[in-house]
Structure 1
Amino acid sequence: MQKGIYHVPVLMQEVINGLQIDPSGIYVDCTFGGGGHASAILKHLNSSGRLIAFDQDADAVKNLPDDDRVIFIPHNFRHLQRFLRLHKISKVNGVLADLGVSSHQFNVGERGFSTRFNGALDMRMNQSEKLDAAYVIQNYSEERLHKIFEQYGEVTNAKTLAKLIVQLRKTQSLKTINEFKNALYPVVKGNPEKYFAQVFQALRIEVNDEFGALKEMLLQAPDVLVPGGRIAVITFHSLEDRLVKNFFKNGNFDEIQENDLYGTLSKNELKVITKKPITPSQEELKNNPRSRSSKLRIAEKIKVSNNISK
């Protein structure tokens, strides 16, 4: 397995501590990537333990360890329950999701994730999918672009940006990163680096339906966890973190628990373990600056006497 090349895993020890690993348990790594977190989990499993590794990026397969305890699933983690059932697994002891983009994806210019390189405006995590960032820029309506940049990137002048894109795409090519960035400079607000990062984040979330996938996975997690099993999620921006925080706390994605007409609280099968998110230590920040925005939240499946664990 490649080490320290593909991706540097964040909050490694905090994840391992938080999952409270049962040596003979079954664990799911929703975002295998470079296999850093997976490798650490495997070290804590005995010969009976198993690791189910999801990753929709075909490049991740190269990092698989030669270990018969690992089942690799080359699909989006939104299909969590479906593929567990396919492998005749009904319950697992823990679920980990390290969200966002791997260092490898950022560092390969032609993938289109990074503002630092020129390349096609791609941004597909699964390169077999048809929708890419260039299509979004070229074909989405002004209203839809405005909504994406405002909601997914929190871009301050999202409306102005959307209007400019729709005007410019009639007369010039916006298919590469440099073409796109150069066209946008007249409306850049504040620090250009931060501005473009927000714009690219919005496009990436749209292309990969990141929020839709995250919500689907979270909704399935309580069903697949054994009572006492844990889910750990690492987020990299406030929008993701809010979804995870609300779901762990309330069992839904709203800021408050839903009450029906009779005042009955919505069902929540999870107990929050991390009242506040765990963030990187000063040492980790020094060694891996990309960890600076990461937040780890952990929840546990509530133990109920009439629940059947496996």
Structure 2
Amino acid sequence: MLDRVLELLAPALDGPAPVVVDANLGLGGHSEALLAAHPALHLIGIDRDPFAIDFSTRRLAPYADRVTLVHAASDDMTDVLARAGRPTVDGVLFDLGVSSPQLDDGERGFAYSYDAPLDMRMDTDQELTAEQVVNTYSTGDLIRILRDYGEERFAPRVARLIAQERAKEAITSTKRLADIVRDAIPAATRRTGGNPAKRTFQALRIEVNAELAALEGALPAALDALALGGRVVVLSYHSLEDRLTKQALTARTRDTSPPGLPVPLAAHQPRFRLLTRGAELPSEEEVARNPRAASARCRAAERIRVDDED
């Protein structure tokens, strides 16, 4: 949804020295397009994956004097902006989820289509891996993760079979885990809905990288950092991310005056307005070009008020 992202952010970036944050830098495609479209723009790119920082450093080299790239998690945004001397910004982009290189590099263990070590770390410097989660978490915690993060309706069956199999031998590969999940899912269900391991792998990835916790911290920080007229755009790829995004934006775009007052209280007026009606979807043409875009959901908001306490 590159064109729509550029369209939504453009009005906030037409000033003399705009600053935008790409909170999930990835391969730097959005960042490159933003820098090309706005010659005065300074971009701060954040990513927890060292590969993303290295790759984007090379990709954005033509704009090096207008780029600050930081190896950090998105929920470190307040500290990142303070260290960069840019506590207030004009735009923030969140392109959530796993990146194509992470999925396509079999050795990183994100994909059930490769036989690889169970890793799934976005930040390869962190200690927790999917192998540790699968082999050391209690059955109850596995059920919770699979149910809450993977929305897996057969979470108890999957978790119990994982516990049985790891008691025989540690589960260390993506193929073995995918096979275990397949065996745990009823045959009638396996015949529809794609690979039965999809939801389990999503759940483990979210747990390993604390993705939802990062978004819960990063999105309010981004909204707080926006200048008057500043805009935030969020691309999410599953219902859990989109739900958190909707809740965070809705909380900032409603009147919180106590009910029954004859005149709304100024201090309770919304500081933001929604720029999208619900979650916007990619076009059929984009999905045809890039099937991975099919699950994308876009939401955006603009700061319309700044109070003394902001």
TM-score computed with the length of structure 1 as normaliser: 0.88
Count of aligned pairs? 294
Q: In structure 2, how many angstroms separate the alpha carbons of the residues matched to 1:159 and 1:261?
A: 44
* Contact preservation (8 Å) 2:270, 2:305: no
Alpha-carbon RMSD across the aligned residues, in angstroms, is 2.5
Query: Which amino acid in the other structure matches residue 210 of structure 2?
Result: D
Q: In structure 1, how many angstroms separate the alpha carbons of the residues matched to 2:92 and 2:128?
A: 28
TM-score computed with the length of structure 2 as normaliser: 0.88
CA change 1:247–1:267 in 2 (3 A) is farther
* Contact preservation (8 Å) 2:275, 2:302: yes
Report the counterpart of residue 33 of structure 2 in structure 1.
40
Q: In structure 1, how many angstroms separate the alpha carbons of the residues matched to 2:139 and 2:169?
A: 17
* Contact preservation (8 Å) 1:149, 1:199: yes
* Contact preservation (8 Å) 2:234, 2:299: yes
Report the counterpart of residue 301 of structure 2 in structure 1.
299
Report the counterpart of residue 13 of structure 1 in structure 2.
3
Q: In structure 1, how many angstroms separate the alpha carbons of the residues matched to 2:137 and 2:255?
A: 35
SS in 2 for 1:156: coil
CA change 1:202–1:16 in 2 (3 A) is same
1:81-230 aligned within 5 A? 81-189=78-186, 190-191=189-190, 193-230=194-231
More helix by proportion, 1 or 2? Answer: 2
SS in 2 for 1:296: strand
Q: 1:78 aligns with which of 52, 58, 75?
A: 75
Q: In structure 2, how many angstroms separate the alpha carbons of the residues matched to 1:73 and 1:120?
A: 28
SS in 1 for 2:281: coil
Q: In structure 2, how many angstroms separate the alpha carbons of the residues matched to 1:257 and 1:238?
A: 26
1:243-282 aligned within 5 A? 243-251=244-252, 269-282=271-284
Give, in angstroms, the shift of residue 278 of structure 1: 1.6
CA change 1:165–1:14 in 2 (3 A) is same
* Contact preservation (8 Å) 1:94, 1:231: yes
* Contact preservation (8 Å) 1:272, 1:299: yes
Q: In structure 2, how many angstroms separate the alpha carbons of the residues matched to 1:288 and 1:130?
A: 33
* Contact preservation (8 Å) 2:157, 2:185: no
Query: Which amino acid in the other structure matches residue 148 of structure 2?
Result: Q
SS in 2 for 1:73: strand
Give, in angstroms, the shift of residue 145 of structure 1: 0.5
Q: In structure 1, how many angstroms separate the alpha carbons of the residues matched to 2:172 and 2:203?
A: 17
Q: 2:50 aligns with which of 46, 49, 58?
A: 58
SS in 2 for 1:127: coil
SS in 2 for 1:68: helix
* Contact preservation (8 Å) 1:124, 1:132: yes
Query: Which amino acid in the other structure matches residue 143 of structure 1?
Result: G
- CA offset digits 1:254-292 (Å, max 9, x no partner): xx9989899999885322111222211111111101100
- CA offset digits 1:44-70 (Å, max 9, x no partner): 2224x2000001111111232112100
Identity of aligned residues (%): 34
Query: Which amino acid in the other structure matches residue 109 of structure 1?
Result: G
Q: In structure 2, how many angstroms separate the alpha carbons of the residues matched to 1:115 and 1:289?
A: 17
Mean alpha-carbon deviation: is it higher for 135-144 or for 17-26? 17-26
* Contact preservation (8 Å) 1:112, 1:121: yes
Report the counterpart of residue 26 of structure 1 in structure 2.
19
CA change 1:268–1:117 in 2 (3 A) is farther
Mean alpha-carbon deviation: is it higher for 112-121 or for 159-168? 159-168
* Contact preservation (8 Å) 1:50, 1:69: yes
* Contact preservation (8 Å) 2:103, 2:110: yes
